[in-house]
Amino acid sequence: MRRIPLSRRSHIIGFQPTATGTTEHESALERDFVALTSFLRPDASITSQPITLTFRDDALTRRYTPDFLVRYPAGRAELIEVKYRADLGANWQRLRPGFRVARDWAREHEAMFRIATECSIRGPLLDNAKRLLPLRQAPVDAGVAELVVSATRSMATATFGGVLARVPVSREIGLAVLWRLIARGTLRVDLAVPITFNTRVSTI
């Protein structure tokens, strides 16, 4: 069981459900990393604090535990440290030896070590992930879904609002199905920007 200390920057401690299990986190940024990773790669397994590395730093014996190990079905793996940029800047000299050892460990185990900050984790893509993840397993009315897909294909340039207007169901039902089809990947949108009624939608 992972022992989760109180973080200096955040006391958001808990568990994040993923498609392959449940992953523990100890900060809001770690929680967001898990959410984004599980959204982009639902087939990946995310292990919290997978290893503790012991190393010599001058005359001292030190330990370093990376935050996550992410494994992908094809065999690729990433050893991840999640840190706020301000923490990296303030503590770089103390953190760097551990990062170097982690990079060596990753190389020996055919993995890659990287540091994920709020710059790569947070933004519109994460916002979309948080909204869509709970909808992936939500039930979808097959008849309405067929109408939505048909309306999308019938338009030269389909938009979220345009498709909604063409589906002969209540606005509430149409919205629910549209969001769920986007969450499942049946409908494609640019997830790197906020989804609005003007967002272009396609089936391929």
73-85 pLDDT, tens digit each: 989 999 999 999 9
Model pLDDT, residue 4? 41
Model pLDDT, residue 71? 97
Give me the sign of the Cα torsion angle 72, 76, 34, 177. Answer: negative
Task: Please give the angle made by the CA atoms of 135, 140 and 142, to the nearest 5 degrees.
Answer: 155
Please write down the long-range contacts of 121-124, taking CB distance under 8 Å and 24 or more positions apart.
Answer: 121/29, 121/32, 121/33, 121/36, 121/82, 122/29, 122/32, 123/192, 124/191, 124/192, 124/193, 124/194
Per-residue confidence of the chain (204 residues) as pLDDT tens digits?
444 443 444 557 788 778 777 788 899 999 999 999 999 999 999 999 999 999 999 889 999 999 999 999 989 999 999 999 999 999 999 999 999 999 999 999 999 999 999 999 999 999 999 999 999 999 999 999 999 999 999 999 999 999 999 999 999 999 999 999 999 999 999 999 999 999 999 998
Q: What is the pTM of this model?
A: 0.88
Q: What span, in angstroms and rounded, lies between the C-alpha atoms of 43 and 33? A: 15
Model pLDDT, residue 1? 42
Q: Amino acid identity, residue 54?
A: T
Model pLDDT, residue 11? 58
User: In terms of C-beta density within 10 A (0-12 exposed, 13-18 middle, 19 or more buried), how is residue 89 classed?
Assistant: exposed
Helices (H), the chain: 28-40, 85-108, 118-121, 124-132, 142-154, 160-166, 171-184
Residue with tokens 């209540």: 170
Model pLDDT, residue 113? 98
